[in-house]
Amino acid sequence: MRKTIKSLLLGLSVLVSLLIFGCSTTTKNHEPSRLAVRYSYLKILDLDQMTNLMQKSVKEFNQTDDSQRLKEALLTCFARPDEDGVIEKILAIVRTPLDDRNLWESAFEELLDQSLEGVKNDNISTVDQVTYSGVIENILSELRPFFIKQYTSAGFETRLVEKIAQADIQLSSEAKNERKLNLMKGYVSPSIVAQAMLERKSDVLSKEKK
């Protein structure tokens, strides 16, 4: 009888482990994450927690004058899935000191370049690829209103939209499955979205000329 109960408990323990860890974030080829922050962790943080992370990085920057602290905070900000609009509420915390030192555009483009390189790297983990793809999606959302205002006079934001369109971003099948499982949403390449934005701009300008 004791052996039967012990076997049942062991089987139940295995089942619970499978349910817990089987639904957790998977990584391609079981590679560890190369990122200090990942979407899977950031998505559970609320506004107050994200605000604290931004303020901590700014405080460290003020103490060390190391702009890398602000760049890391920028990555943290844009790596969080943004269905609840938190980015808009916290971005100024890190953008203000970057603007004050004329570092905003260079840091923002560096973040985009890092993410474009990362999402195309076949050797990174699946969770990193999903994180980088999320960063690019959030960057594109941030660029959109500025891009629309620049229809007749292209600026910094327009150049970044063009860069995303030309990047031909694709996700691995593992990364797409990761998004479906943990973010409950499908995937449309940011390159396709950016290209559609450029085509819309071209249509509007063509109609205005007529």
Is 118 within a domain? yes
Model pLDDT, residue 33: 63
169 within a domain of the structure (yes/no):
yes
Q: Which domain holds residue 166?
A: 37-209
Q: Where are the alpha helices (DSSP H) in 23-125?
A: 39-42, 47-64, 68-79, 86-100, 104-119
- Tell whether 30 is covered by a domain: no
pLDDT digits (tens, 9 = 90+) for 64-100: 999 999 999 999 999 999 999 999 999 999 999 999 9
Give, as one character, the DSSP assignment of residue 27. Answer: -
Residue 86: inside a domain: yes
Describe the crossing of helices 156-166 and 104-119 by its angle, rounded to 10 degrees. Answer: 10
pLDDT of residue 186: 82
10 occurs within a structural domain: no
- Categorise residue 153: left if φ over 0, alpha if ψ from -120 to 50, beta otherwise: beta
Residue 159 half-sphere exposure toward CB, CA atoms < 13 A: 7
Burial, 92: exposed, middle or buried (Cβ in 10 Å; 0-12, 13-18, 19+)?
A: exposed
Count: domains in the chain: 1
Whether 26 is covered by a domain: the verdict is: no
Query: For residue 25, is it within any domain?
Result: no
Q: Which of 6-15, 160-169, 199-208 has the lowest mean pLDDT?
A: 6-15
Query: What are φ and ψ of residue 35, in 5° steps?
Result: -95, 145
Q: Is residue 22 situated within a structural domain?
A: no
Q: Supply the mean pLDDT for the chain.
A: 86
